[in-house]
Amino acid sequence: MNERMAPRGPDGSGDWFSPDGRVGFTHRRLAIIDLSERGAQPMHSADGKLTITFNGEIYNYRELRAELERKGHVFRTETDTEVLLQLYADRGPAMVEALRGMFAFGLWDAARRSLLLARDPLGIKPLYYADDGWTVRFASQAKALLAGGAVSRDPEPAGIVGFHLFGNVPEPFTVWQSIRSLPAGCTMTVDATGPDLPAPYYRVADALGRRAARPCALADARSRLSAAVHESVRYHLVADVPVAVFLSAGLDSGALLGTMAELGVRDISAVTLSFEEFRGTANDETPLAAEVAARYGARHIVRTVNRAEFERDLPALLDAMDLPTIDGINTWFVSKAAHEAGIKVALSGLGADECFGGYPSFRELPRFVHALAPLRVLPGAGALVRRVLAAGVGSAIGLHPKAAGILEYGGSWAGAYLLRRGVLMPWELAGPLDADIVEEGLRRLVPLGRTEDELKADSPLGDFDRVAALETALYMRNQLLRDSDWAGMAHSIEIRVPYVDPFFLASLPPGDILAAAGAKAAIADVPQPPLPEPLRNRAKTGFATPVGHWIREAAGPGGGTSFSAASRAWMRRVWQAGWTGAGMA
């Protein structure tokens, strides 16, 4: 398991076993805070009763440490890892609610003979586990559990169906029945009787509901947004190594760079991908990114990727891809470029669209739901229309395949979201999958019910916050964040996401105020000086790459003869999904 995770931590490796041999931890270290040997893991408390293996960073560890010192706790290192040990001794499992950062950890309490597993509120860092009734195993990679040789590889229909529906595998499922993902914002206790059920301590919808209940004047919205971004970036700069930024020609990453410079960071490295195929076109990120880098005094690193390099890297890329996804290639190459430049930590603009309404779904979903909800009173009408159109009538008159389900699905939030984000619709699964896999997978996954669950909140949600909750808890968590983790860590790069932070989300104005204030455009005015006009006026394209074109050629008839069967199968699925390479702001 340790060897499988070696790229995640090239700076050190450690093992620990309890005296009775019943508990063992292994760890790979990427040294970011306290680079000395004192930061090595697994780490023990001074009395030896607590042991932890921890992946991630706690950005407010200094404040937490000062609070604990006032209570009499004595520290031996300068690490955030030791803060976790001392905080657990002080607060127990409730400690997780005080942590600002990204984390997944296992903490062994010898006195209680119990193991605490915990994952950060929004799911930036992964934690997979397997329980065969005798032994509980956990790791940062699902494939590390398989590498241990004692975990079954039997397929999980829910994960397979979920991938074909959404282009990612919805948690807590993986594509193996024996392996589960600990859901974001959950802890889980394991003792002699086995693991308890995951215990949620954070839910996106509840957090957005609480935020909506706190008033904010429209006139104050932009200043509050700016203050929130500055505070989040300041926390995400906590490190004992330089922090770089992934820079596209978008507002979100440009605002991060500008804010870093405004906060006094010097010698910033900004990494941009370039593609020969895009030179001179609107999709070329390089000229505008270069202008932004020059504006804020950053060292601009431009890395060109071509089709030959993509084809060379594809086997390693698919091997590093812990769970199947139709995205992540862009993050693979920008992380590779960062690693080549000697960078360990980089900020990413991921998550801004979910916060500020940057996706078309923020307009389209409410329109669908409000227009079509009244038609749901006609029992069976939607299903009838869908069967007729899906049988060939729709294609004969030139309709998009999803059009068959508009009447049946479009009148509910979960159904409209499936139409918007779905790769294949449920009635299309019989094409690529066996009927028994489809039936069992849909029964276990319950895609519409699982989607509706993400909208349940203690306080009412408006339209903006409903879409934000779905995009954050589903698309961002299961695809963007997971892709950033495996693709970044494959190159020993820690990707930090200042827009993906529960403290940041809580400090923003309510969703309806953000929408009224034009929050997405307002990002340009966050740094001083503000972002240049050409960047503001650029049409949103996402972070596009020509990989979609390369895949279509390689996956088509006669293409890619040198690729393995697994590579070709993945490319066919990506091709069918209409993948464009968009995904990193």
CB 212 within 8 A of CB 465: yes
Query: In a 3-state reduction of DSSP, which class is residue 116?
Result: strand
Query: In a 3-state reduction of DSSP, which class is residue 174?
Result: coil
> Which portions of the chain are predicted below pLDDT 50?
578-585
Residues 301-317 pLDDT 10s: 999 998 889 889 988 99
Cα(209)–Cα(457) distance, integer angstroms: 6
What kind and span of H or E run contains 224? helix 221-236
**pLDDT given for residue 215 in this prediction:** 86
**pLDDT given for residue 566 in this prediction:** 62
The distance of Cα 28 from the centroid of its chain, to the nearest Å, equals 21
Which residue's entry shows tokens 């309890």?
A: 18
**pLDDT given for residue 346 in this prediction:** 98
Which amino acid is residue 412, in one-letter code? S
Query: Which residues neighbour 251 within 8 Å (Cβ) at sequence distance 6 or greater?
Result: 352, 520, 521, 523, 524, 531, 535, 536, 585
CATH 3.40.50.620 fits 205-357+480-576, yes or no: yes
Beta strands in 184-230 (DSSP E): 186-191, 194-195, 199-200
Residues 127-163 pLDDT 10s: 999 999 999 999 999 999 999 999 999 999 999 999 9
Which amino acid is residue 53, in one-letter code? T
**Is 575 exposed, middle or buried (CB count within 10 Å of its CB: 0-12, 13-18, 19+)?**
middle
The DSSP code for 436 is H
**pLDDT given for residue 390 in this prediction:** 64
Which residue's entry shows tokens 């069976």?
A: 380
**pLDDT given for residue 406 in this prediction:** 77
C-alpha pair distances (Å), 326 with each of 141, 341, 571: 18, 27, 9
Cα(336)–Cα(334) distance, integer angstroms: 5
- Reported pTM: 0.93
Q: Are strands 43-44 and 194-195 parallel, antiparallel or unpaired?
A: unpaired
CB 543 within 8 A of CB 581: yes
What are the domain boundaries of the chain? 3-202, 205-357+480-576, 361-466
The first and second tokens of residue 268, run together, are: 């910033």
Which amino acid is residue 583, in one-letter code? G
243: alpha, beta or left? (left if phi > 0; alpha if psi -120 to 50) = beta
Q: Which CATH superfamily is domain 3-202 in?
A: Aminohydrolase, N-terminal nucleophile (Ntn) domain (3.60.20.10)
Query: Which residues neighbour 100 within 8 Å (Cβ) at sequence distance 6 or greater?
Result: 58, 59, 60, 235, 501, 502, 503
